[in-house]
Amino acid sequence: MRSRADLEPTAFVDLQALELFLQEKAGYWVWDSLKGRNEDVVSFENLWALFRPGDYLVVQDRLEEKVLFKFTRMDEVSDTVGFKKDFCVAMAVNFWFVSWSPGEKRFRQKYQLVKIERYVGQKKASTLPIYPLRYEDEATQKVLLDRLHERGKKWANLVSNSPTCFNHSGQGLPLSRGVVPEDVDITQVQGRMVLDLRDVMQLRNTVAEVEFGPSSSEVDEKLNDSWSESRLSKLYDPTQYRLCPPHISCYHLETGKHYLVSVTNLDPVCWERSALDQLILDEEKKSFLKTLVSNAANFKLKAGDIIANKGRGLTIILHGPPGVGKTLTAECLAEYAKKPMIPLSVGNLVGIEDSMEDELTEAFAKASRLDAILLLDEADVILEARSFEDVRRNGMVSVFLRHLEYYSGILFLTTNRISAMDPAFQSRIQVAIQYFELSHRQRSDIWQSLLNSKVIDCTEHDKDTIIDRLDEFADYPLNGRQIRNVLNLSAITAAADITSDYKVQVRHVEKALAEAVKFQRFFDDGNKDTKNRNRVWKPFAPPQQRTRI
């Protein structure tokens, strides 16, 4: 400390003026802010004293995950209130966290801010929307930092590797165009999800009052600690892992929607590779398909066209009568190849003409981006030969053919009417697998397979009784889907039968089988003369006569 004699006269006068100002004008506020720090409470006017440069900040988001940020600065948010102009209505807490750029394949800092709205009186620091980590006790801090370190490593590993399929069980926030809408509700999301990192990770609307902050500033650059100015392809420092987001963007295979979910709720998928062994299909065809799909899934076809990126995909059509295992074959092969399967809905393609090409473009791009197998089930509408009188459907087929030409992944098509297929598809399909009506032996095997998979709940004695009758049950010309329906109906019937202790017995199967056979005979008798005359596609009415729902 310099003495009074060492100070310049003007400097001494300045210090006296500052001391007088602090005593007369600012003494109360300074003392109040210091008091607030010690007692873990703070008024709105003294929020500036709560946050220090370089502080770790804690926020609990809408999915009840604790998130860690690095504080940079605080700004006043002013507005006109009544007759008061430039009245401070909120304080904007600026911070940064670690983000991932899918295009650059690099980790980078992302700047955002949280607003603390003006409040009356004093609040405990830890009850604010965002507060410094030091206001947690030491034990809580250690547990939290260790957990965030492990969670951050998992997040960093997920985003920096190839698209991966996971099982998810927990809450999620629906995404729209890569962000969480403001008024969206949390929903329960169960089932398989594929990481989809097309959009840069964002926290908008995952915590209260989050907005985008500045991209750079002089003070930010001074507070980056161990963070390199160059964007990183890999994280090394525990601090960097702790500043990673808790969420990741995923595509839900069952609903076809995107969700923001917690990485802690993602678990590896147990692929049912043995399901292919239980598939009722000729062993030679099964082995051929396994080889094709396995090889195509592990490397892109090199033999394409003289035009770049053309003709590099694998398109397989499975054709034959309904219920003989076409769709199941595609699903089993996807399990065997450990690839997610994305179903392409024909209804979405033909529903609204204007969006058809966009739907196709998005579907093929999504399958390539997520390294998934694409399935167009019941593709008769798309595959049917073009005709002179239906210009609209001709255009739809042409669009599909063009996308098929440039698709580099695996596509399965299933159809019951191969004879009606447009000739242009023939050269674009590499493999065609024909299915026939099930034989007696195949129907018996399907009955046995479904019983072994515990589709129904029954005692071992009743299961043996049903198995003894399989040769009789297989005499009825049902397809695989109908056999499954019989067992499902048996289970529903048994669920209301107290005399069987709510378990399936052979009498329940007999009753359900009788109903299925009755409907099958009614369908066959009533449609003998007409079921093969109807066209798959009937042109829509002119636009002025159509009503969109």
Q: pLDDT of 157-208, one tens digit each?
A: 999 887 789 999 999 999 887 788 878 889 999 999 999 886 444 445 555 4
417: nearest Cα among 532, 336, 282: 532
Q: 67 and 189: one domain?
A: yes
Instruction: Say which DSSP state 232 is in.
Output: B
Residue 212: C-alpha distances to residues 65, 183, 464 (Å): 20, 18, 66
How do beta strands 41-43 and 122-124 pair? antiparallel
Number of domains in the chain: 3
For tokens 């595509």, the residue is 251
CATH no. for residue 404?
A: 3.40.50.300
Of 434, 467, 488, the position where a domain reaches its end is 434
- Residue 311 tokens, joined: 């003709």
Residue 66: C-alpha distances to residues 58, 140, 178, 390 (Å): 7, 12, 22, 58
Per-residue pLDDT band at 422 (split at 50, 70, 90): confident
Cα 266 from Cα 248, distance rounded (Å)? 10
Of 384, 415, 434, the position where a domain reaches its end is 434
Q: 394 and 305: one domain?
A: yes
At 87, give phi and psi (nearest 5°).
-85, 130
Per-residue pLDDT band at 400 (split at 50, 70, 90): confident
The number of beta carbons lying within 10 Å of the beta carbon of residue 55 is 20
Q: Is residue 369 part of a domain?
A: yes
Q: What is the pLDDT of residues 151-164, one digit of tens each?
A: 999 999 999 887 78
Cα 355 from Cα 269, distance rounded (Å)? 34
Cα 147 from Cα 88, distance rounded (Å)? 37
Is residue 457 exposed (0-12), middle (13-18) or buried (19+ Cβ within 10 Å)?
middle
Is residue 244 exposed (0-12), middle (13-18) or buried (19+ Cβ within 10 Å)?
buried
Domain span at residue 496?
440-523
The number of beta carbons lying within 10 Å of the beta carbon of residue 50 is 23
Q: Is residue 512 part of a domain?
A: yes
CB 452 within 8 A of CB 467: no
At 386, give phi and psi (nearest 5°).
-75, 155
Q: What's the confidence (pLDDT) of residue 546? A: 41
Mean pLDDT of the residues in the chain: 82
Helix 506-527 vs helix 480-494: angle between axes, to the nearest 10 degrees?
A: 130
R_g (Cα) of the chain, nearest Å: 33
Residue 12: C-alpha distances to residues 6, 9, 24, 26 (Å): 9, 5, 18, 20
Q: Helix and strand tally (H, E) in the chain? A: 17, 18
Q: 475 and 368: one domain?
A: no
Identify the sign of the CA torsion 77, 79, 81, 84.
positive
Q: Is residue 25 part of a domain?
A: no
Percentage of the chain lying above the pLDDT 90 cut: 45
- Residue 59 tokens, joined: 């926020």
Of 400, 434, 468, the position where a domain reaches its end is 434
Q: 50 and 190: one domain?
A: yes
Q: 137 and 205: one domain?
A: yes
- Residue 68 tokens, joined: 């860690």
- Residue 226 tokens, joined: 């161990």
- Residue 88 tokens, joined: 């401070």
Q: Is residue 130 part of a domain?
A: yes
CB 314 within 8 A of CB 430: yes
Q: 165 and 48: one domain?
A: yes
Q: What's 412-439 look like in SS3?
A: EEEECCHHHECHHHHHHCCEEEECCCCC
Q: 456 and 425: one domain?
A: no
Q: What is the pLDDT of residues 55-114, one digit of tens each?
A: 999 999 888 899 999 999 999 998 876 667 778 899 999 999 999 888 888 899 999 999
At 273, give phi and psi (nearest 5°).
-65, -25
Kindly write down the DSSP assignment for every residue of 143-167, as one continuous string: HHHHHHHHHHHHHHHHHTSS--EEE
Cα 467 from Cα 488, distance rounded (Å)? 16
Per-residue pLDDT band at 223 (split at 50, 70, 90): very low
Q: 322 and 281: one domain?
A: yes
Instruction: Tell me the residue ranges of DSSP E strands in 24-83.
Output: 41-43, 56-60, 66-81
- Residue 445 tokens, joined: 């095997």
Q: 421 and 450: one domain?
A: no
Q: CB under 8 Å to 253, separation ≥6 — which residues?
A: 165, 191, 192, 193, 194, 340, 341, 342
Residue ranges of alpha helices (H) inside 453-529 are: 460-468, 470-473, 480-494, 506-527
Q: What's the confidence (pLDDT) of residue 310? A: 63
Identify the sign of the CA torsion 236, 241, 243, 247.
positive
The number of beta carbons lying within 10 Å of the beta carbon of residue 94 is 23
pTM above 0.85, yes or no: no
At 385, give phi and psi (nearest 5°).
-55, 145
The mean-pLDDT minimum among 140-149, 215-224, 529-538 falls in 215-224
Q: 463 and 385: one domain?
A: no
The number of beta carbons lying within 10 Å of the beta carbon of residue 549 is 4
Cα 234 from Cα 157, distance rounded (Å)? 9
Q: Is residue 24 part of a domain?
A: no
CB 132 within 8 A of CB 57: yes
SS3 label, residue 289 = helix
Q: 367 and 469: one domain?
A: no
Q: Is residue 11 part of a domain?
A: no
Q: What is the pLDDT of residues 428-479, one digit of tens each?
A: 889 999 999 999 999 999 999 999 887 888 899 999 999 999 999 999 999 9
Q: What's the confidence (pLDDT) of residue 128? A: 93
Q: What's the confidence (pLDDT) of residue 388? A: 66
Kindly write down the DSSP assignment for every residue of 362-406, as one continuous string: HHHHHHHHTT-EEEE-STHHHHBPP-TT-HHHHHHHHHHHHHHHH
Render the burial of 473-491: b for 16+ CB within 10 Å, e for the rest: bbebebbbebbbbbbebbb
Q: Is residue 73 part of a domain?
A: yes
Q: 203 and 294: one domain?
A: no
Residue 215 above 60 pLDDT?
no
Q: What's the confidence (pLDDT) of residue 30? A: 58
For tokens 């100015």, the residue is 229
